[in-house]
Amino acid sequence: MATFVVCHGAWSAGWAWAKMHPLMRARGHRFITPTLTGLGERSHLARPDIDLETHIADIVGVLTYEGLEGVNLIGHSYSGMVATGVADRARGRIAQLIYIDAFVPRDGESAFDVLPESVRAQRQSGASSSADGWRIPPGPMPPDTSPDDRAWCEPLRVAQPVKTFEQQLTFRNGPLTLPRQYIYCLRNSPDDRFRVFYERAKSEGWGTHEIDSSHNPHLTCPQVLADLLSAIAR
């Protein structure tokens, strides 16, 4: 049995990984999907000072209070930022770091730093023009998302505190030396914003994998993702 902890993407929460739980349990794994502060069922805690460090602390707290060791830590999308920070802070608890179509920041970079300029400007504008000036409205779901999944997900996606994208990640323990894997979704967004991280992973000798999916394989092809994660854990 392997233990997986998921750092979910922006505007999302642990609920979005519901399809994965029975699949991973059937494969003998423990699969934990905490929700980051200010999102999902914790959206009532949203406030303007929530930042990247808040979300890193959320996941470090799960690892600590659940007594987890040898964790396969997943970072999806925005939460490549979160997972990288957690891997820096709690290295002794992590077996490997698995990015799924995710940002891979270097020391001193924020999510806004690694986004294409046009996307960064759009999200900054969305936050500044929101009712309270500090929430980024949810981005669009991939076009191949099924009508049923849209009906399930769209009412539950909530705006994200802008400081989670603004705050730069600072490594506290030197360069990361943990084993790392990158899963790249082939049917990506028009700007293909995650390709650069996949190419970096290949150039640095990480485990690299391709999946015939758009950005949310946990929604659109969970069986395929569960098989791939099981293989990676082995």
Closest CA to 211 of 198, 200, 193: 198
In three-state secondary structure terms, 232 is helix
Q: Quote the distance between the C-alpha of residue 151 and its chain's center.
A: 22
Residue-level pLDDT at 104:
98
b/e 197-225 (16+ beta carbons within 10 angstroms → b):
bbeebeeeebebbebebbbbbbbbbbeeb
Could you tell me the pTM of the whole model?
A: 0.96
At residue 155 the predicted structure's pLDDT band, cuts being 50, 70 and 90, is very high
Which long-range contacts link 227-231 to residues 24+ away (Cβ below 8 Å)?
228/183, 229/4, 229/24, 229/29, 229/72, 229/74, 229/98, 230/2, 230/24, 230/27, 230/29
Q: Considering the candidates 12, 43, 77, 110, report the single residue annotated as catalytic.
A: 77
Taking only the tens place, the pLDDT of each residue in 12-64 is 999 999 999 999 999 999 999 999 999 999 999 999 999 999 999 999 999 99
φ, ψ at 207 (rounded to 5°): -70, 130
Q: What is the pLDDT of residues 109-145, one digit of tens each?
A: 999 999 989 899 989 999 999 889 999 999 899 988 9
Give the DSSP letter of residue 2.
-
d(CA 84, CA 97): 8
Complete domains list, the chain, with CATH: 3-233 (3.40.50.1820)
What's the pLDDT at 112? 97
What pLDDT, on the 0 to 100 scale, is given for residue 190?
64
Tens of pLDDT, residue by residue over 68-102, are 999 999 999 999 999 999 999 999 999 999 999 99
77 counts as catalytic: yes
At residue 189 the predicted structure's pLDDT band, cuts being 50, 70 and 90, is low
Q: Let me know: does 195 contact 188? Beta carbons within 8 Å.
A: yes
